[in-house]
């Protein structure tokens, strides 16, 4: 039986930015350069492209000479399809011995010219929105090692960033920690993971189990949350991820000042307390010792003094440390993890 | 924009039983004959087949003469693939103007000979394990009409049977009611539905919304539950179905004497009270008035007097009516529905 696998990218990377001129559309590339600089050889812009993510500029031949193993498409594509202008470059990369990885809507593997070139070159086209095959049904069995899951009051309020920041801080202190990505951007940043929201319902908790396998007793998996247990559209994703992750601890992520579920204006944001309660209730099923160790806020709607005041209020209300990873770092959370 | 659709089969049916000799493997056919006799013209056995589901025996030509619209494969297939011995008959059915519907593991649409014949005949091959395309993300908006969802302490303990029995009883009393199938057998029995556990995670609650659309204010959708909110493998399916179904009322299904999750021996069965609590907590998000109206048990491990005694104890403990649909019918539940 072959080992169960998550999606895996080979480092080092060449980050491809096409003709992109707007940093907004190159967030994925910028994220990889920020969180995994050591895995990035350089960036490649096509003629007309001006986005700079701070990496050395190089072409396919130069990247290949330096040993690039994967060309990662670091920009989103308007309309979703791979532009014709990219094809010669992408094919050149395949012929130079690189895989290509992307999270674009139209799959690399649906582009006949790329599929043909990859086959001839013996390289892979890695669509990070496509789950690996043969995901099992979740078995719920206890695994060795420790796990932290970021959960949320809603989508898009810092679950990925919080997890990445905690992982980085733990690693910088010499502790054993691995960021476990569950979404396309996280997978491209970390080079591996499981696109949990693209998994078929029956296999959701199994996919989460595959993502964080047995590990050393003192090793931490820092798992990127998806969706929210109170979300009218995406609660099922969060449920499967929580059951299968069997986290020892979790961090609740929220945005200060957000009052409604983003895009679902009929739905009030649940309180932090409601999220703690539901996550604990459900999470106990696969880890009876699950507990909340803190709260991570995105405070960007407020000035720094206002934000600090609000964070202090929340700290007092719940008796838990509150951080804003972007403004003030996550040390208060990692200290709890180290002490646990 | 085309209307959002569930899987749909055209009645009347010819139930195809192949060479099957064991009633155990012909449960689907027997279920259709039991619950939808009015939609069944007859049954067809191949040479060597002996299973009798109580319908008139006929061949393709006879069924076609009587107006059969769909040949339904009513038996499971060892190994999953369509046996070669079936092909001439299935192709004859297509040529006679019937669709073919099945829930077998190897899809009808993966069999080249069938695909070719269906194309030539202008008929459909309906794999009821394959979800329809273009399922939206759940929007959580309140829909008109009333909804009942069967939920469970575990899988395989009567959620489908309970829903079918309630629907039948409501219809027999002249009330407006529709059984909404969420699994392959239920879909084949009722002729329509949504294979909820085969839907991609992001679209789970959306699939449940499509399954029970706006309806008359006094119409009841009786929705077949799947999985269980406490299930280590399938909780996500139940979560999406609950959020999207927005049930007004629910019935908890359990098996008397079952102590562990079937197939997951490390996990205790949750109590009926825990299931009521969690279903209510989560269900409130999309229907603030959700409530449990009763409990449906499978009491087959006990004698009738023992079963009645245990059911009385449960009735006393929870202050809710308790039924065993197979032994004693569901009238106690439908009376609550009618009174509500």
- A124-164: pLDDT as tens digits: 999 999 999 999 999 999 999 999 999 999 999 999 999 99
User: Tell me, what's the pLDDT at B61?
Assistant: 98
Give the number of domains in chain B.
2
The answer as to whether B241 is a domain residue is yes
Domain end, chosen from B93, B127, B161, is at B127
- pLDDT band at B1; cut points 50, 70, 90: very low
Does residue B135 belong to any structural domain of this protein? Answer: no
Q: Are residues A289 and A202 in the same domain?
A: yes
* CA-based end-to-end distance of chain A: 37
Residues A193, A120, single domain; the answer is no
Determine the distance in angstroms separating the CA of B63 from the nearest CA of chain A, rounded to an integer.
Answer: 37
Whose CA is closest to B314, among B260, B259, B252, B231? Answer: B252
Portion 178-237 of B in contact with A at CB < 8 A = 196-202, 204-206, 229-230, 232-237
Q: What is the ipTM of this complex?
A: 0.95
Q: Are A247 and A283 within 8 A, CB to CB?
A: yes
Under 8 Å between Cβ of B257 and B309: no
Q: B178 phi and psi, to 5 degrees?
A: -135, 130
Does the distance separating the beta carbons of B239 and A235 come in below 8 Å? yes
* CA distances to A29, A303, B176 from A24, in Å: 10, 23, 52
A239 to chain B, any CB pair closer than 8 A? The answer is: yes
Residue B152 predicted with pLDDT over 50: yes
User: What value does the mean pLDDT of chain A take?
Assistant: 96
d(CA B274, CA B282): 12
CB contacts < 8 A (A, B): 117
pLDDT at B34 over 80: yes
> Tens digits of per-residue pLDDT, B65-117?
999 999 999 998 777 789 999 999 999 999 999 999 999 888 999 999 999 99
> Does residue A100 lie within any of the structural domains?
yes
B7, β-bridge pairs = B193
Strands (E) in chain B, as ranges, are 7-8, 13-16, 40-44, 70-73, 99-102, 125-127, 146-152, 177-180, 192-193, 220-223, 249-255, 260-261, 264-268, 291-298, 322-323
Nearest to A79 by CA among A115, A45, A106: A106
The per-residue pLDDT for A155 is: 97
CA A207 – CA A223 distance, rounded (Å): 13
pLDDT score for B113: 96
pLDDT score for A5: 86
Distances (CA, A) of B216 to A152, B144, B147, B178, B219: 37, 7, 11, 12, 5
Say how far apart CA B127 and CA B149 lie, in whole Å.
Answer: 25
Buried b (16+ CB within 10 A) or exposed e, A183-210: bbbbbbbbbbbbbbbbbbbbbbbbbbbb
Residues A112 and A184 in one domain: no
CB contact under 8 A, B235 and A140: no
What pLDDT was estimated at residue A3?
54
The predicted pLDDT at position A2 comes to: 42
- pLDDT at position A1: 35
Distance, CA of A246 to CA of B310 (rounded, Å): 35
B70 and B162 belong to one structural domain: no
* A214 and A100 together in one domain: no
Q: Using an 8 Å Cβ cutoff, are A100 and A60 in contact?
A: no
Sites in chain A below the pLDDT cut of 50: 1-2
Partners of A181 in the β-ladder = none
Q: Is B198 close to A198, i.e. CB distance below 8 A?
A: no
Residues B304 and B223 in one domain: yes
Whether residue B114 contacts residue B87, with contact meaning beta carbons closer than 8 Å, is answered with yes
CATH of the domain at B87: 3.40.50.720
Interface probe, candidates A143, A206, A233, A270, chain B, greatest B C-beta count within 10 A: A233
Q: What is the pLDDT of residues B264-279, one digit of tens each?
A: 999 999 999 999 999 9
Contacts of A267 in chain B (CB under 8 A): 140, 285
Q: Does A267 touch chain B (CB under 8 A)?
A: yes
Average pLDDT, chain B: 96
Min Cα distance A266 → chain B (Å) is 8
| Residues A308, A109: Cα–Cα separation, whole Å | 48
For residue B95, count other CB atoms closer than 10 A to its CB: 15
Interchain pair A196, B197: CB under 8 A: no
Q: Which helix (H) or strand (E) holds A114?
A: helix A112-121
Please tell me the distance in Å from A1's CA to the nearest CA on chain B. 19
Residue B52 is assigned to a structural domain of this protein: yes
Q: B209 and B113 share a domain? A: no
Q: Per the CB < 8 Å rule, is A140 touching B205?
A: no
Residues B174-201: what's their mean pLDDT? 96
pTM: 0.96
Residue A2 lies in a domain: no
Give the CATH number of the domain where residue A256 resides: 3.40.50.300
Range of the domain at A165: 146-339
Residues of B in contact with A197 (CB under 8 A): 200-202
Within 8 A of B267 by CB-CB distance, chain A residues are: 140, 285
Instruction: Classify residue A136: in a domain, yes or no.
Output: no
Q: What's the length of chain A?
A: 340
pLDDT of residue A4: 62
The answer to whether residues B65 and B153 belong to one domain is no
CA atoms within 13 A on the CB side of B4: 17
3-class DSSP state of B260: strand
Final residue belonging to a domain, choices A127, A159, A188: A127
Please provide the size of chain B in residues. Answer: 340
Out of A205, A243, A266, name the one closest to residue B141 (CB): A266
SS3 content of chain A, % helix, strand, coil (to 5): 40, 20, 40
For residues A111 and A166, state if they share a domain.
Answer: no
B309 and B218: one domain? yes
Stretch 79-138 of chain B: residues touching chain A, C-beta under 8 Å: 137-138
Q: Is residue B85 domain-shared with residue B166, that is, in the same domain?
A: no
- Within a domain: residue A137? no
Residues A242 and A213 in one domain: yes
Where is the domain boundary, A100, A127, A154? Answer: A127
Q: Do B239 and A234 touch (CB under 8 A)?
A: no
Residue A334 domain-assigned? Answer: yes
Choose among B198, B229, B235: nearest Cβ to A200: B198
Cβ contact (<8 Å) for B234 and A139?
no
């Amino acid at each position: 039986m072959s080992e169960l696998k998550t999606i895996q990218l080979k480092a080092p990377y060449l980050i491809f930015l096409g003709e992109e001129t707007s940093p907004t559309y190159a967030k994925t590339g910028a994220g990889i350069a920020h969180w995994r600089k050591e895995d990035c050889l350089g960036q490649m812009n096509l003629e007309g492209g001006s986005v700079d993510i701070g990496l050395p500029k190089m072409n396919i031949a130069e990247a290949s000479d330096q040993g690039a193993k994967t060309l990662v498409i670091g920009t989103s594509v308007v309309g979703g399809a791979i532009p014709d202008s990219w094809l010669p470059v992408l094919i050149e990369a395949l012929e130079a011995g690189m895989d290509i990885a992307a999270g674009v809507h139209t799959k690399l593997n649906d582009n006949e010219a790329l599929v043909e070139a990859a086959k001839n070159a013996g390289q892979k086209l890695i669509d990070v929105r496509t789950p690996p095959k043969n995901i099992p049904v979740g078995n719920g069995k206890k695994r060795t090692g420790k796990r932290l899951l970021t959960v949320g009051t809603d989508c898009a309020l810092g679950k990925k960033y919080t997890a990445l920041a905690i992982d980085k801080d733990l690693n910088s202190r010499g502790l054993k920690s691995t960021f476990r990505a569950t979404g396309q951007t996280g997978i491209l940043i970390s080079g591996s993971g499981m696109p949990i929201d693209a998994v078929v319902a029956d296999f959701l908790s199994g996919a989460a189990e595959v993502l964080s396998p047995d590990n050393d007793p003192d090793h931490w998996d820092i798992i990127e949350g998806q969706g929210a247990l109170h979300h009218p559209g995406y609660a099922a994703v969060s449920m499967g991820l929580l059951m299968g992750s069997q986290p020892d601890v979790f961090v609740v992520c929220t945005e200060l000042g957000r009052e409604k579920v983003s895009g679902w204006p009929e739905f009030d944001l649940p309180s932090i307390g409601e999220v703690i309660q539901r996550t604990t209730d459900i999470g106990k099923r696969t880890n009876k010792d699950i507990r909340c160790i803190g709260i991570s806020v995105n405070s960007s709607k407020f000035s720094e003094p206002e934000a600090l005041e609000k964070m202090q209020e929340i700290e007092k209300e719940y008796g838990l440390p509150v951080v804003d990873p972007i403004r003030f770092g996550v040390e208060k959370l990692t200290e709890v993890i180290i002490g646990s």
